[in-house]
Every structure is written in structure tokens, then in C-alpha cells.
Amino acid sequence: MEQALEALRKALDLAQRRRRQSDRHAIRYPFYPLPRVAVLGLELEGPAGVRCLVDWTPEELVRLRPQALAGWWNDLAEVARRVLAGELELPDLQFPILVFSRAGSAPLPPRCHDLLWEWFRVPTFEQIRGSDGELIAFECAARAGFHLAPGVEAEAVSLVRVPESCPCGSSAPLYRADAALRATAG
């Protein structure tokens, strides 16, 4: 009896763990194969090489030697602050950065993208994500605007649809920040 209960408990544990893993949201990096990416502040699903550091420390980052970073603006700004102050060295950083912004707020203003370029000297792709990391919209490789993640309704984002087609070749509609919203946020 006890053995049967133990087996049942193990099976339930395993099922729960599997479910949690599949609940994780995908990283969606714009290029393949992916470099060694350190994801800061979020648990995301990705191929080998993607490491999620939810409560990251500079020591962890140094050990990981990431080739790319992904994270919320605040975390990336903190990494940059430490790099510029000479407290943190990331010599392998050479691939594009993913910066996450929150659904419901306007995308990051251009000056944030400019700062990321100044700090890290690599291009940045913005992704709009929900609070538990689900992808809402993303800048594709062409960086001409945002595409909505599958199943997302346009009302979920503070973006406006533009009548152009995306240079990436995707037939998915293209969205950009609402200029009026950006003006009030900026």
C-alpha cells in the first residue's frame, strides 16, 4: 500500500514538473542558432545555451560568459552600470540583446534603444511580455515594427497597425508604437 502511494506521488510530481516546464514561455530569439543567452529576471524556455537567471548576480553572469543578454530594461541598465563602472566584464557579449517591455505600457522610447546601443554596442530587439513572461508582441529580424505573438489580439497592446508589409517577408501585420502615446510617455 505504502509503495503504491509512493509510486503515485512520484507520478504526480513528474506530471506537475512536466506541466510547469511546458508552461514556460519561449524565448523567441530573432536568429538561429542561438548564442549563449543569459535571460535576466524571467524563466523562459529555450534550446541549450539559454540560461535563465531569475535573481541574477554579477558573479553568476561572469561565470556564464553570455554571448547575448535578454531581460527587462531595469536589469539590463543595471548590468550596463556595472560594466561601465568596471565591476563586471562580459567579454563574449557580441550578439543582439532582447529587451522586454511590459504589456499595457508603451514600448520603450527610442532613447532607451540608443542607450542600449551605447552601452553594449550590439543591436536590441524589443519584446512585449506579460507579467509571467508570455510573449505578446516582438520585433522581428527586420526591426521595422512589432508582430503580434500567435493568438494575441491587437487590443492587448498599446500599438497601432501600420499599412506597410514587413521587410522580413512575413505576411503578419506590422504594428508600431502609437506616436501620440509615445509623445505623452516621452
The CB-of-177 to Zn ion minimum distance in angstroms stands at 15
CA distance 69 to 10: 36
Give dist(CA 125, CA 27) in Å, integer: 12
Q: Which cell numbers in the block locate residue 125?
A: 530587439
Minimum distance from residue 126 beta carbon to Zn ion (Å): 13
Output the smallest distance, CB 178 to Zn ion, in A: 19
Residue 49 DSSP class: T
Identify which of residues 74 and 170 has a Cβ nearer to Zn ion in the complex.
170
Cell numbers standing for residue 96:
543582439
Pick between residue 56 and residue 138 the one whose CB is nearest to Zn ion.
138
CB-wise, 3 or 171, nearer to Zn ion?
Answer: 171
Minimum distance from residue 83 beta carbon to Zn ion (Å): 30
Type of residue numbered 116: L
Q: Which lies closer to Zn ion via its Cβ, residue 80 or residue 136?
A: 136
Residue ranges in contact with Zn ion by CB under 5 A: 140, 142, 166, 168, 170
In the structure, how many helices (H) and strands (E) does the chain have?
5, 11
Given 3-state DSSP classes, what are the helix, strand and coil percentages for the chain, each rounded to the nearest 5?
35, 25, 40
CB of 148 to Zn ion, least distance (A): 11
Three cell numbers written together for 120: 553594449
Q: Can you tell me the distance from the alpha carbon of 27 to that of 5, in angstroms, rounded to the nearest whole number?
A: 37
Is the separation of the CB atoms in 168 and 144 below 8 Å?
yes
Q: Which is nearer to Zn ion, 142 or 160 (CB)?
A: 142
